[in-house]
């Protein structure tokens, strides 16, 4: 049910989660750069091998797997907050539409 209380809660959450969302986005981007640099370093130091062998070595290395896991975790945390913020925006828009219809007498 869409109510004034739900809309107020959504506005409060949006206002209070701006910094958290920005920090999680930065952490996600940083984790991705770390993963990419880990891959590059591992591939470069894998010796005289073909490109395919270097890639296989880098992708299977524990350092890369740990960096990938960190990135996926950061991606998940950011996605959760981003989705909650999107839900709040949708709830606010729906409340505004319903309220406008009530004001016009289209909904009793």
Mean pLDDT of 25-48: 96
Q: Report domain extents, the chain.
A: 25-100
Q: Is the pLDDT of residue 108 over 80?
A: no
Dmax (CA) for the chain in angstroms is 77
The predicted pLDDT at position 70 comes to: 98
Q: How many CB atoms lie within 10 A of CB 89?
A: 13
Mean pLDDT of 92-103: 92
Q: Is the pLDDT of residue 107 over 80?
A: no
Residue-wise pLDDT tens digits, 3-20 = 899 999 999 999 999 999
């Amino acid at each position: 049910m869409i109510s004034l209380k739900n809309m107020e809660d959504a506005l409060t959450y949006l206002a209070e989660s701006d910094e958290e969302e920005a920090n999680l986005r930065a952490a996600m981007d940083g984790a991705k750069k770390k993963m990419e640099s880990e891959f590059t370093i591992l591939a470069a130091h894998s010796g005289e091998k073909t490109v395919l062998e270097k890639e296989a070595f880098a992708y299977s290395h524990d350092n890369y797997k740990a960096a990938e896991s960190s990135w996926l975790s950061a991606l998940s945390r950011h996605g959760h907050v981003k989705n909650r913020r999107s839900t709040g925006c949708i709830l606010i828009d729906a409340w505004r539409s319903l309220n406008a219809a009530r004001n016009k007498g289209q909904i009793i």
